[in-house]
Amino acid sequence: MGAAVLAACAVWSLVTAAVHDGRPEGVLLAVLALAAGYAAGRILGALTPVAAPCAGAAAGLVLAVLLPRLDPGPEAVAPLGHAGAAAALLILSAGAACCAAWTTPVAAVRLALWLLAGVVVVAGALLGSAAAVVACGAVLLCSSAAGGGFRRGPVLAGLTLVAALVTGLTWAVAGSALPGGLAGVVREVLTSRRVELWRDALGMARRASGLGVGPGRFGELSETAARSSPPDGKPHSAPLQLAAEQGVVGVLLLGAVFCWVLFALWRAPRPTPVVLTTGASLTALAVVASAGNALSFTTVTAGAGLLAGVATARPLAEALPVCEPARTSGAAPRCERDLHGGRPSA
């Protein structure tokens, strides 16, 4: 199913590029990075279910701190912190650290990994990214609560609804459908330039809803993007960019990729806390991508695929430890073997 969805994304980008003389290289690179990251995650997650997400968390944190300015375009800091790329890397790092903490049976290692997730939140504050602090904090809280015996199906369905609501809010802002007071607050937070970029993208989507204007052509046709110095050629919203450049089908394919990942998590043999932590991380990434151009960076798409692959891998060991929080203060967490594909045993 995943191969079919990713192949459809690649083929549709080529079709729309051929019709409008577009440049599909960016979409193809993103699809390739996601697929490669997912495959690598499945392999590494099967061989080293603890070390793989731990290494991924450390790598994402190092990249976000050492290379925070991943995009030389305008407004690289406000409102999402370096175009959302650094925030996205920190979100994936926090999720990976929490997944590793839920997987390891060693108490000292588990504590160190939880501390690493906290360091990621602090790193977001030091980089001046409010979005990273809020999103990483939310991932950390969701992961902490994931051991409370929740059923993965309803929670993943709720995460899908959250992503859909945020996407709908983005479209409402672009279409000036919000009340005056709320619209003013949103414009102040997101900046007027970003809202104008969204409106240009929505206008292109309405005029060419079938095939869009062609991949990579938003910067050529947007008056707001042309006035930027230097122009970055992106509307800073993944759904609106695909709607403008690839039409309705492009948006549906983006949604299909997200739903496929959550469906794979629902069927994953990993413990439920790992599954829900990954789902929360990818949902936070989707929220950031709805209001920024985070998915335009290969490191982000590859990292998302890597985290999803690790969380859906079937470890070579016969069973993984599922660690439940201690019921009394001072007691050590209780770990049991999960032999039922991540679902609570009797």
**Structural domain contains residue 330:** no
**Structural domain contains residue 274:** yes
Number of domains within the chain: 1
**Phi then psi dihedrals of residue 80, to 5 deg:** -105, 5
Spans of the chain below 70 pLDDT: 68-83, 228-232, 317-346
pLDDT at 286: 95
pLDDT tens profile 272-284: 999 999 999 999 9
Picking from 262, 260, 238, 259, the residue whose alpha carbon sits closest to that of residue 250 is 238
pLDDT at 318: 46
Residue 292 corresponds to which tokens in the numbers above? 């920024």
pLDDT at 224: 78
Q: How many residues does the chain have?
A: 346
**Structural domain contains residue 292:** yes
Residue 94 corresponds to which tokens in the numbers above? 């926090």
Picking from 99, 170, 79, 107, the residue whose alpha carbon sits closest to that of residue 139 is 99
Q: What is the Cα–Cα distance from 297 to 85, expressed in whole angstroms?
A: 7
**Structural domain contains residue 19:** yes
Beta strands in 64-193 (DSSP E): none
pLDDT at 220: 84
Residue with tokens 């929740």: 150
pLDDT at 78: 43
**Structural domain contains residue 21:** yes
**Structural domain contains residue 185:** yes
Q: Omega of the bond prior to 325 within 30 degrees of 0, cis?
A: no
- Measured between its terminal Cα atoms, the distance across the chain in Å is 31
> Cβ contacts of residue 65 below 8 Å, gap of 6+?
123, 127
Residue 111 corresponds to which tokens in the numbers above? 């504590």
pLDDT at 208: 86
Q: Which neighbouring-strand residues pair with 338? A: 320
Q: What is the 8-class DSSP label of residue 209?
A: T
Domain that holds residue 31: 2-57+151-317
- φ/ψ region of 292 (left if φ > 0, alpha if ψ in -120 to 50, else beta) reads beta
Q: What is the Cα–Cα distance from 261 to 305, expressed in whole angstroms?
A: 9
pLDDT at 80: 43
**Structural domain contains residue 208:** yes
CA-to-CA dists, residue 53 to 230, 232, 303, 337, angstroms: 37, 33, 10, 20
**Structural domain contains residue 30:** yes
